[in-house]
A and B are shown apart, each in its own frame.
Chain A
Amino acid sequence: MSLDKYLESNFTDTPLETILNRRDFLKMTGGGILILFSLRDISFAQGSHSLPDDFNAFLHIDEHGSVTCFTGKIEMGQGIITSLAQMLADELDVSLDSVEMVMGDTDLCPYDRGTFGSMSTRFFGPPLRQAAAEARRVLITLASEKMHIPEKQLATDDGTIYSQKNSEQRVTYAQLTKGQKIRRHLTEPVSVKSPKEFEIMGQPVNRRDAHEKVTGNAQYAGDIQVSGMVYASILRPPSHAAKLKSVDLSDAKGVDGLQIVRDGDFIAVLHKYPDVAMDARDKIQAEWDVPKSSLNEKTIFDHLLEAAPPGNTIASGGNLETGERDAESVIEQTYLDGYVAHAPMEPHTAVVQFDGTSAKVWASTQTPFSAKEEAARELGIPADNVRVITPFVGGGFGGKTRNLQVQEAAKIAKLSGKPVQVAWSRSDEFFEDSFRPAAVVKVKGGLDDTGKISLWDYNVYFAGERGASQFYNIPNHRTKSYGGGWGGVPGAHPFATGAWRAPANNTNTFARESHVDMLAASVDIDPVEFRLQNLSDARMKRVINTAADNFGWKPTKSSPNTGFGIACGTDAGTYVATMAEVEVDRKSGQVQVKRVLCTQDMGICINPEGATIQMEGCITMGMGYALSEDVRFKGGDILDKNFGTYELPKFSWLPKIETVILDHQELDPQGGGEPAIITMGAVIANAIYDAVGARVVQLPMTPERVKAALGS
């Protein structure tokens, strides 16, 4: 699959139901949920590759009883190092402590398209559980043959199989397998546990990587040092689309021990110390042809509207003309959203060790199997000769799906003949990041004479489709998306754009939920009440009602400048409702978020502790795009180069955060890494409106924009 196609899938959100509608392979049985092996061939999650049918590809039991779990997924903080281990341990019936995770190693792990889209638990979880359940059943069969006891009399506990009639008669998994691959397989599919049978799944478990991470022992790609390795610093143009006119390397060449490699405009300086390489890069005198451009963070929106291709209708019903004619009132509004950086604390990093025929790569990547292909292409060797190892990844958020730094390291390794580490500086990171695309949303909403929404004409430009379709009961509605999501169309964005945590959905939820709030305010109906009146979706009503109960909607204002907001939405199969309290300084326009409560229906929750942490992380990160994060640029030059001007949420911003995960055992696990971030823009916008009557229609809601809205 081409890289374009591959990344595009980041921008669509495939709920599990879509896949499960292929009911031929999913049947409910009395004992639990029966998932046939064909679930391993989920085309969306896996692309053209299917997961292996052999459970040995997912797990290995060594001669001491330690169990290794192999997954192409990677750990970037989202916590699947814990939740996937819980799934395996529970289904195999071993202790959680006995499970070791091997993640994102392309030689050892089954193929995986990448860790994004809140898909690990949803789509890798079922086949992993299935593999573990099958392995357990096979072990029982092997034990039965060894002990001459009928299978029905055998039970398992913590890696041991014993006779239920005489528990003295027992054999451990390790004794049965002796560390060897298990050759036996079942011919019939086996049931995985029903939620009632869970012993380890569903329990809150602390992070299993905490010890390594608090001691500094956890290794990230930048911590990998191989013999003879040099650190590379790459000359970056001052602006995207700039072409190198001339270059003077003489000052850089004077640096002791420096090696310079060049391939056209690509120039890298190499040194055994990274800081010396970075300093040497600054000594390169380069002249560039920089194409003139009038684009900046203010003019981009008009440009995007001009650049937009015809839209695709992604949802519709009734008739817009009828809706408009019959509406008692109509409100139209345009919403704007700027470019946002991923800004993971760990910049993109890769180490490539190449011996001329094969290569070993360590990369901070969300897509190790694509990195393997990309490194191979750059090195000119078959992909089978490349092994990518993914150490801990220091945050990804969608930004590490594109492996530019891997390609750079591979190129330099080939040019220099040395093992190379490319670790982007923070300014490299801001320059080469694939930002969340700037976007425009135009919404026209109408109300009938009973205060119900009767018209919804929704047009989103360049954010993407995820989260665009509305879920209210609206007789006449149409949702159109223009220009797709991640890369837009040629000429749309002046630099790379890409998937950013819950792609498209932050922008779409901001626009939709702001607009619904405006409609409610226009008829003076409480925004929670208004939403409930216009909803029939039981899951959505439940998350809203739960949020209202827990928040105490609507509390009394503690000061004339405080206000309360609500926003709701769906992402990755999960339903979210968020309520917030803010305080607005009318003079400065500064917004302080005082309290955020988020309720989430994510189906079965594998690790409530991990899911809670993800919700808290989403809420905190979401305050950034809501209030301060906006990449400033001039033409192709990124003006924000570090955290001095690009402000991330800080300790002093932090509200009281409350999270509620609804009990929903009848639904398979849904996404958890992204959903809670989607509502943050809208919930704060709506709370600001409640506080001071100012409607801010552009993200981020900086003090200047809040002040402007107050004045209008």
Chain B
Amino acid sequence: MVDTGGNPAATLDDASAEWIRALNATGAVRDAALARLHSLLVRAAAGELRRREAGTWVPGRELDDLAHQAAGDAIVALLGKLGSFRGESRFTTWAYRFVILEVSSKLGRHYWRQHPAEHLEAEDWDRLPGRLGASPGEDAEHAELVKAVRQAVDETLTEHQRRLFVAVVLNEVPLDALVARLGTNRNAIYKVIFDARRKIRAFLVANGYLEERGLRPS
């Protein structure tokens, strides 16, 4: 069941109602609304790519293409769901959501242009402390715990859980890149990692490395 926060479908505000009216119209009125929406979404996509500092790893001219592609694909998706807009938010907020999700998806696909497929499988457990916020000087102190986490991974995770845990946690493959690579969706991968985290934690608690409510006191 969707977490609605107790917010019932609302009456459309004037600006949102005008967007819906124009996008449901025909001819010049609809064309003008589509052009205005496209412009808004290109600007939002470009802003989002800048905010994510995508320019540091996507060439400049491709950034512009990505923004336009994200806006175009967002409009197609949005028009397909226009009838489901119930005015629970402003229309533009609803529309921006489509383009933000498109930006995430496109950046996920772009990831594999710069990273070899082998990146998915490589296992370097020495990276675990750094990946989970331990400073290099603390690595030796965490060695026993790293060993225990690895044992938990070996003994409690399924092959699929292990593969995704290694990709996401050890190799820092972004979830959206995995979505693109495996042809699945973000929720499915998140659920696998969620279950893996639970299993590893239960193993560490059962073997005395963690307390039920937190880390064992040093």
The answer to whether A and B come from one shared complex is no
Identify the B interface with A (CB < 8 A).
none
